[in-house]
């Protein structure tokens, strides 16, 4: 059959790991006249948002909002805890761990990186060794990425805390949950996390532009010992909602706040545990399809063991140039945009075209995942990429709960 009919007209589907699909209700909440930023409903709403952010982070401690993307939250967390010359330990499992370490260096800190590669989770034994070797407790913080979005590796943050406790190391445990908050189970207080950073455009379903830093009393004590913290990044006034509008160190991100209020309402209406369970089931359907495709072709899940995989993003290897060809075809012919491979091969290396990622975070349901998988399969057929038969049946069985 000649491929002479283009099927891209219709509602586009952006299946990349952030920004994620925005619910119509979030968009509607943002479509309004400019509100007063000094008094009135916006102020009360901000108080409720701060409390509810702490609720989804599972913490009784402080929640703060910054106007900026996830990188801003990285910098905010460091600016309050890491002084020039301070050391941090970074167990990296993909590009985002390495990126956070680079930011430490830019701020005058020293990052000791343990690189676990691009397909494997942190190995706790090696982290224990590094901490035990630091007898004079020079390491001030351990920077851990919960889900590294480039590799789709998910790390065991509770196990990392146990290792730190077993060694008796006093460093802060800081977690990047930008890709995992409201997707994968996360428990800030129960898992002993001192500082957590996140952002609004992934599991929280709001357009990019605001990010969050959560911190406990131990982290607040470290903040108090800092020689200086820039007024903009200082988390102290931001953690006190009574200080509105100092909270934002200037103009509030008005429309983002309306969008976020609605997104949080949607999450609580569904139930946070149910949100996690939905992400888990949808991820399992995707993995089931990928396993079948891989039985007779080049497609491979980047992370071998399901227990180390994110429920919000799936990184795949398919060989160059198949990855790029597939992404181009489904975008141009179906209106489906897949995630690019990130950090899997150096810039300029043709091997970069052998990777892609599927985003399945936030406002995603069973029919969207089935449609995305159907689109990927059509793309493999169109591009003559060999693949095993029956992948959609396997995914449908998982969706059906069989
Ligand atoms: C998206 C992401 C970031 C970066 O967030 P930006 O909003 O793009 O700055 C950092 N860490 C993780 C784990 C992410 O998924």
pTM value is: 0.97
Q: What is the pLDDT of residue 181?
A: 98
- Quickly tell me which residue has 């985002």 as its tokens: 96
Atom of ligand 1 nearest to the CA of 149: 15
Using 50 as the pLDDT threshold, list the residues of the chain that sit under it.
Answer: none
Atom of ligand 1 nearest to the CA of 145: 13
Q: Is 323 in the pocket of ligand 1 (CB under 6 A)?
A: no
The alpha carbon of 80 is separated from its chain's Cα centroid by a whole number of angstroms, namely 22
Domains of the chain with CATH codes: 25-268 (3.40.640.10), 271-399 (3.90.1150.10)
Q: How many residues does the chain have?
A: 402
Are the C-beta atoms of residues 213 and 52 closer than 8 Å to each other?
A: no
User: Residue 211 Cα, ligand 1 centroid: separation in angstroms?
Assistant: 10
pLDDT tens by residue, 169-223? 999 999 999 999 999 999 999 999 999 999 999 999 999 999 999 999 999 999 9
Residue from 96, 157, 357 whose mutation best tests the ligand 1 pocket (most atoms within 8 A of CB):
96
User: Residue 71 Cα, ligand 1 centroid: separation in angstroms?
Assistant: 6
Sign of CA dihedral 234, 237, 241, 246: negative
Are the C-beta atoms of residues 339 and 310 closer than 8 Å to each other?
A: no
User: Residue 365 Cα, ligand 1 centroid: separation in angstroms?
Assistant: 23
Atom of ligand 1 nearest to the CA of 147: 13
Q: What is the pLDDT of residue 2?
A: 62
Q: In this structure, which residue's CA is closest to atom 8 in ligand 1?
A: 70
Q: What is the pLDDT of residue 241?
A: 67
Atom of ligand 1 nearest to the CA of 69: 7
Q: In this structure, which residue's CA is closest to atom 2 in ligand 1?
A: 178
Q: Is 18 in the pocket of ligand 1 (CB under 6 A)?
A: yes
Q: Is 66 in the pocket of ligand 1 (CB under 6 A)?
A: no
Q: What is the pLDDT of residue 317?
A: 98
Q: Is 203 in the pocket of ligand 1 (CB under 6 A)?
A: no
In order of 72, 142, 150, 192, 338, the CA distances from 343 in angstroms are: 20, 22, 6, 30, 16
Residues 375, 103: Cα–Cα separation, whole Å: 38
Q: Is 343 in the pocket of ligand 1 (CB under 6 A)?
A: no
Helices H / strands E in the chain, number of each: 13, 14
Q: What is the pLDDT of residue 89?
A: 98
Q: Is 176 in the pocket of ligand 1 (CB under 6 A)?
A: yes
């Amino acid at each position: 059959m000649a491929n002479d009919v283009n099927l891209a007209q219709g509602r586009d589907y952006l299946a990349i790991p952030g920004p994620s699909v925005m619910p119509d209700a979030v968009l509607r909440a943002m479509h309004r006249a400019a509100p007063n930023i000094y008094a009135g409903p916006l102020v009360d709403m901000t108080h409720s948002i701060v409390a509810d952010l702490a609720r989804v982070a599972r913490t009784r401690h402080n929640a703060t909002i910054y106007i900026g993307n996830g990188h801003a939250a990285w910098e905010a967390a460091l600016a309050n805890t890491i002084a020039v010359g301070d050391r941090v330990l970074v167990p990296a499992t993909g590009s985002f761990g390495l990126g956070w370490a680079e930011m430490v260096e830019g701020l005058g800190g020293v990052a000791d990186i343990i690189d676990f590669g691009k397909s494997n989770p942190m190995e706790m034994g090696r982290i224990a060794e590094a901490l035990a070797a630091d007898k004079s407790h020079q390491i001030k913080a351990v920077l851990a990425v919960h889900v590294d979005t480039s590799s789709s590796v998910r790390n065991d943050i509770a196990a990392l805390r146990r290792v730190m406790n077993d060694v008796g190391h006093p460093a802060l445990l800081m977690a990047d949950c930008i890709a995992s908050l409201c997707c994968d189970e996360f428990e800030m207080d129960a898992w002993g996390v001192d500082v957590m950073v996140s952002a609004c455009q992934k599991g929280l379903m709001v357009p990019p532009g605001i990010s969050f830093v959560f911190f406990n009393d131990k982290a607040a004590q470290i903040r108090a010992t800092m020689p200086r913290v820039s007024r903009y990044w200082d988390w102290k006034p931001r953690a006190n909602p009574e200080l509105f509008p100092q909270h934002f160190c200037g103009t509030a991100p008005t429309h983002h706040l309306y969008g976020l209020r609605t997104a949080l309402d949607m999450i609580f209406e569904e139930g946070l545990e149910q949100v996690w369970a939905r992400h888990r089931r949808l991820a399992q359907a995707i993995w089931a399809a990928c396993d079948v495709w891989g039985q007779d072709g080049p497609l491979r899940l980047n992370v071998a063991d399901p227990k180390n995989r994110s429920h919000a993003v799936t990184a795949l290897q398919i060989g160059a140039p198949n990855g790029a060809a597939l992404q181009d075809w489904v975008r141009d012919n179906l209106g489906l945009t897949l995630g690019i491979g990130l950090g899997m091969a150096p810039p300029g290396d043709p091997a970069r075209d052998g990777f892609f990622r599927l985003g399945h975070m936030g406002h995603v349901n069973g029919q969207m995942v089935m449609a995305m998988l159907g689109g990927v399969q059509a793309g493999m057929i169109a591009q003559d990429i060999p693949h095993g038969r029956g992948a959609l049946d396997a995914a449908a069985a998982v969706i059906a709960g069989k």
